[in-house]
């Protein structure tokens, strides 16, 4: 009798139970059933799968599968009573009772199985898991759990007693950290079916791993479908692919599980990664022919998949640590592949894509493809591979990292060997938007990194940026957050794969770059404090030299940008200097008006509101503020007390109390069409002395709409813009506003550099102090950092307007010239310092010490050589001297020096400064009128070192 029963019931604790009874035990039945299960992670009514039991009758006439949904509480029962059998078995094992057992299936005695450790683990487990578990099996799974606890890893074990090549059944144990249980079960079932195994029985349980999340335990009884022979080599590959399955992108799984099983996981992953990597390069050539969908479809057609597989083979062989191919063999095989494509592939789109794949193989310098526990596929690329055909000239980055993983692709671009910049997450809401973002993914990352390079001119780290593009389409809110957190972990760990120097990476990562790399990250859009903490812990676990410095803005041992207003402190200095120079207003004595984008609850805008009121009191009239919720405007100035209430309560501008408005004031909400129009046009409509974009979308003012910022007579609604937010105005719009309306714009790379300066000091502190030392001195260090931010902003702002008034040109161009000049001098000095002896370089260390906050230097500078990488110290000396020289003497002085002599002149400048200092000290004892003495000292300060050099 054929019996098909689907039963739904509930356990006493409220969990749902789905039971399926089916006739027979045909291969793939479990996989088919899992695919059809409800409560998927894309659904808003998602429930976690907490337990699975799959059984088949001995005569294979019937199968019974039970799936339990909802979390089962752990530790709400007497674990010593419930786990008595397990505790006794562990005691016997530790006393040697099973030593020398015939089958050898018992685990070896281990401190892990001591009573206290075992009780701790039992308290993490559900009662049903403990009750149903065989003691031996329970301890074996505990070992797997211990191997991945605190990580995102996967461990796999196959019963060793069956690895003898017969056609018996096999137990496969899998422990997966932080995977959705239903997804883990589906992927394991899929992979086992691909390798022609049928699942006869299955158990699924989840165990808490504390703050790290949970671990899913799978135990599957499998048998070869065709009674094939399963060798040790086969199981080795199976275990490797099971460990990878958690991290595979759906496109890879479709390619290797459904379409071309002969490819294997590694080659399939390489092909899908290359397709993703090619999209932003090739889309510039032809957006339609080289769309994201078309690239993957073309490369994976039956007509071309063999060529793609051979290219993947070349990649694998180039980086195989056990059988490395030499340069001549690589060139020959590359040429053979090109010839084969020339003769066999008639479609131009396909051939160009295949050629580009070969180009990627050639320009990859490192990869983590052979690391067992990698979270995604990572490539360290020669940046030249990212240049598109016909692309105009632009500066090549120092290095590019690319990662391809489950539902994400990510770039890290940096412009110097040691660089720092934020990681941002981009989560488009639709497949169409995702494809658009993918097309300019690399260019966005490049542009942000380049802007960071200009902004980082005052600090030892060059500019970098990481952009993680995540496919969250079709996911529930829970699923979206889950995938985002996983993508952060996978991308970060892949970066570490490519930069850490450990026994594992030395053994498995073939290095064509030939030098160690140091980089630092910071949080950007959608990165959470939980992400930050995990990244630092992971960097330490992976052996990064300075893990605490790897990620800035740590909750305890960091300097929170919003809490201390570090970016806004710098923004306001530029505003102050600009108002004095452009408008002729002393803001401490005269009234002026300001309009802003960005809300009171925002970092830059909220703190700028506080600083404006702190510094200028009633003199500042904030006539309009717009944010995501709406806008508030009042020509007589918005009430200060009410604004501060919103800032301190972290509330948006739509919460402004209308009773605090003047007669002509208004509050608009975006829940009406009129409110949206008012909010979107506020920055153009309202007239003010200065406009401070301190929030809002990039490219809000562009070449197509910049005229909306002008009044009917062509004059600007604000003659001054201070860019507190990045990229609010495009380059073309900046120039047009200056050319047509003489709008003076302080560019973002100058105005909001306070944040990167703070993060750099946080990196220094993380390297030079313990977390406790920093925390104990945090109050003093933070105040000194804020003072440094204001001083560096004042130095640049003063030079910016001096050079603008002396030499003309638009202010954004002058800003970029200053940044470029400092960076050129830094690079020249960095090269020159390589040729200095340690003794001579030590003479320059005071430059680095003077750059640091006084408390930080006093606590730890004596140990700087032991705690800070030599390359970082070198960069610090170079950047400190370069910025000091440019701010003091100006860009024209640097530009006038021959490039090959620039570094030597800068080093001589330091010596001449010391001579001037000695001269000033001697002058103090000279008997002459104080006024004359002060005048001489002023002249020495202004040009003494430069005059002593004989450079005018």
| Catalytic center residues | 465
Distance CA 553, CA 557 (A): 8
Three-state secondary-structure class, residue 952: coil
What's the token pair of residue 102?
A: 């015939």
Distance CA 29, CA 200 (A): 10
Q: Strand order in 408-414's β-sheet? A: 364-367, 377-381, 399-405, 408-414, 462-470, 418-426, 518-523
DSSP code for 708? G
Three-state secondary-structure class, residue 519: strand
The 10 Å Cβ neighbour count of residue 14 is 8
Who contacts 459 (Cβ-Cβ below 8 Å, separation ≥6)? Answer: 420, 756, 757, 760, 879
Q: Tell me whether residue 794 is exposed, middle or buried, using C-beta atoms within 10 angstroms of its C-beta: 0 to 12, 13 to 18, 19 or more.
A: middle
Q: How far is CA 158 from the centre of its chain?
A: 36
Report CA dihedral (643, 646, 647, 649) to the nearest 10 degrees: 150
In total, the chain counts a number of residues equal to: 952
Three-state secondary-structure class, residue 624: strand
Distance CA 410, CA 393 (A): 24
How big is the chain by its Cα radius of gyration, in Å? 32
Q: Is the torsion defined by CA of 553, 556, 558, 560 positive or negative? A: positive
Distance CA 771, CA 543 (A): 18
CA atoms within 13 A on the CB side of 485: 19
Of 905, 924, 925, which Cα lies nearest the Cα of 913? 905
| Residue recorded with tokens 């902004």 | 455
- Give φ, ψ of 87 to 5 degrees: -60, -40
The b-or-e profile of 164-184 (16+ CB within 10 A means b, else e) is eeeeeebbbbbbbbbbbbbbb
Alpha-helical regions (H) of 246-371: 250-253, 265-282, 292-299, 305-318, 327-344, 348-363
């Amino acid at each position: 009798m054929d019996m098909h029963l689907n039963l739904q019931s509930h356990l006493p604790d409220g969990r749902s139970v789905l039971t399926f009874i089916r006739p027979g035990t045909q291969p793939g039945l479990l996989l088919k059933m899992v695919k059809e299960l409800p409560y998927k992670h894309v659904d808003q009514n998602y429930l976690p799968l907490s337990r699975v039991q799959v059984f088949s009758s001995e005569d294979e006439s019937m199968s019974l599968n039970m799936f339990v949904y909802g979390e089962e509480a752990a530790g709400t029962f007497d674990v010593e009573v419930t786990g008595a059998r397990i505790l006794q078995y562990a005691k016997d094992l530790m006393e040697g009772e099973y030593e020398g057992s015939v089958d050898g299936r018992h685990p070896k005695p281990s401190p892990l199985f001591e009573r206290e450790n075992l009780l701790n683990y039992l308290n993490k487990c559900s009662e049903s898991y403990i009750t149903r578990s065989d003691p031996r099996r329970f301890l074996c799974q505990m070992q797997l759990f211990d191997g991945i606890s605190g990580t995102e890893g996967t461990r796999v074990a196959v019963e060793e007693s069956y690895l003898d090549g017969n056609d018996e059944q096999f137990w496969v144990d899998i422990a997966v950290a932080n995977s959705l249980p239903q997804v883990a079960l589906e992927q394991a079932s899929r992979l086992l079916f691909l390798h022609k195994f049928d699942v006869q029985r299955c158990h699924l349980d989840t165990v808490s791993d504390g703050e790290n999340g949970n671990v899913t335990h799978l135990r599957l009884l499998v048998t070869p479908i065709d009674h094939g022979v399963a060798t040790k080599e086969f199981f080795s590959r199976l275990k490797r692919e099971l460990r990878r399955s958690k991290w595979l992108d759906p496109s890879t799984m479709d390619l290797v599980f459904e379409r071309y099983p002969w490819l294997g996981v590694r080659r399939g992953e390489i092909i899908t990664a290359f397709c993703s990597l090619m999209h932003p390069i090739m889309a510039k050539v032809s957006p339609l022919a080289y769309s994201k969908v078309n690239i993957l479809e073309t490369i994976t057609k039956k007509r071309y998949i063999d060529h793609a597989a051979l290219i993947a083979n070349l990649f694998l062989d180039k980086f195989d640590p056990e059988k490395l191919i030499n340069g001549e063999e690589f060139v020959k095989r590359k040429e053979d592949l090109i010839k084969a494509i020339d003769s066999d592939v008639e479609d131009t789109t396909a051939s160009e894509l295949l050629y580009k794949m070969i180009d990627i193989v050639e320009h990859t310098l490192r990869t983590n493809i052979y690391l067992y526990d990698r979270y995604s596929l990572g490539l360290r690329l020669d940046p030249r591979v990212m240049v598109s055909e016909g692309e105009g000239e632009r500066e090549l980055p120092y290095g590019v990292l690319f990662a391809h993983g489950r539902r994400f692709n990510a770039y890290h671009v940096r412009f110097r060997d040691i660089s720092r910049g934020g990681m941002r997450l981009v989560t488009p809401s639709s497949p169409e938007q995702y494809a658009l973002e993918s097309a300019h993914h690399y260019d966005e990352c490049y542009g942000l990194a380049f802007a960071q390079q200009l902004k980082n001119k005052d600090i030892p780290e060059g500019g970098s940026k990481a952009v993680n593009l995540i496919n969250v389409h079709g996911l529930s809110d829970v699923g979206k957050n889950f995938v985002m957190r996983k993508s952060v972990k996978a991308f970060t760990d892949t970066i570490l794969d490519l930069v850490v120097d450990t026994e594992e990476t030395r053994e498995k990562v073939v290095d064509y770059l030939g030098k160690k790399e140091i980089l630092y990250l910071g949080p950007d859009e959608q990165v959470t404090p939980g992400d930050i903490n995990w990244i630092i812990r992971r960097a330490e676990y992976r052996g990064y030299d300075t893990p605490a410095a790897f990620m800035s803005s740590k909750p305890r041992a960091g300097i929170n940008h919003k809490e201390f207003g570090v970016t806004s402190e710098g923004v306001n200095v530029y505003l102050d200097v600009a108002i004095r120079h452009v408008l002729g207003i002393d803001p401490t004595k005269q009234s002026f008006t300001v309009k802003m984008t960005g809300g009171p609850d925002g970092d830059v805008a909220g703190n700028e509101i506080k600083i404006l009121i702190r510094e200028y009191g009633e003199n500042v009239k904030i006539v309009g503020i717009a944010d995501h919720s709406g806008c508030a405007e009042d020509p007589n100035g918005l009430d200060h007390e009410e604004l501060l209430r919103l800032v301190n309560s972290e509330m948006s501008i739509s919460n402004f109390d209308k009773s605090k408005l003047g007669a002509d004031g208004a509050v608009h909400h975006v829940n009406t069409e009129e409110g949206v129009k008012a909010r979107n046009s506020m920055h153009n409509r309202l007239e003010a002395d200065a406009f401070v974009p301190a929030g809002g979308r990039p490219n809000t003012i562009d070449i197509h709409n910049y005229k909306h910022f002008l009044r009917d007579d062509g004059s600007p609604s604000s003659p001054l813009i201070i860019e507190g937010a990045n990229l609010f105005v495009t380059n073309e719009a900046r120039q047009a506003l200056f050319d047509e309306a003489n709008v003076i714009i302080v560019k973002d790379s100058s105005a909001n550099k306070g944040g990167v300066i703070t993060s750099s000091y946080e990196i220094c502190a993380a390297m030079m102090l313990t977390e406790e030392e920093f925390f104990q001195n945090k109050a003093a260090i933070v105040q000194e950092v804020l003072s440094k931010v204001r001083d560096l902003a004042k130095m640049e702002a003063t030079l910016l307007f001096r050079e603008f008034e002396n030499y003309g040109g638009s202010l954004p161009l002058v800003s970029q010239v200053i940044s470029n000049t400092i960076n050129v001098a830094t690079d020249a000095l960095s090269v020159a310092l390589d040729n200095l002896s340690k003794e001579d370089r030590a003479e320059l260390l005071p430059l680095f010490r003077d750059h640091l906050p006084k408390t930080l230097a006093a606590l730890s500078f004596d140990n700087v050589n032991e705690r800070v990488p030599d390359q970082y110290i070198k960069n610090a000396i170079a950047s400190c001297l370069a910025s000091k020289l440019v701010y003091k003497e100006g860009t024209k002085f640097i530009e006038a020096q021959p490039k090959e002599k620039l570094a030597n002149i800068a080093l001589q400048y330091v010596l001449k400064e010391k001579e001037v200092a000695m001269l000033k000290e001697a002058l103090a004892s000279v008997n002459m009128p104080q006024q004359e003495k002060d005048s001489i000292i002023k002249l020495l300060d202004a040009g003494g070192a430069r005059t002593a050099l004989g450079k005018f």
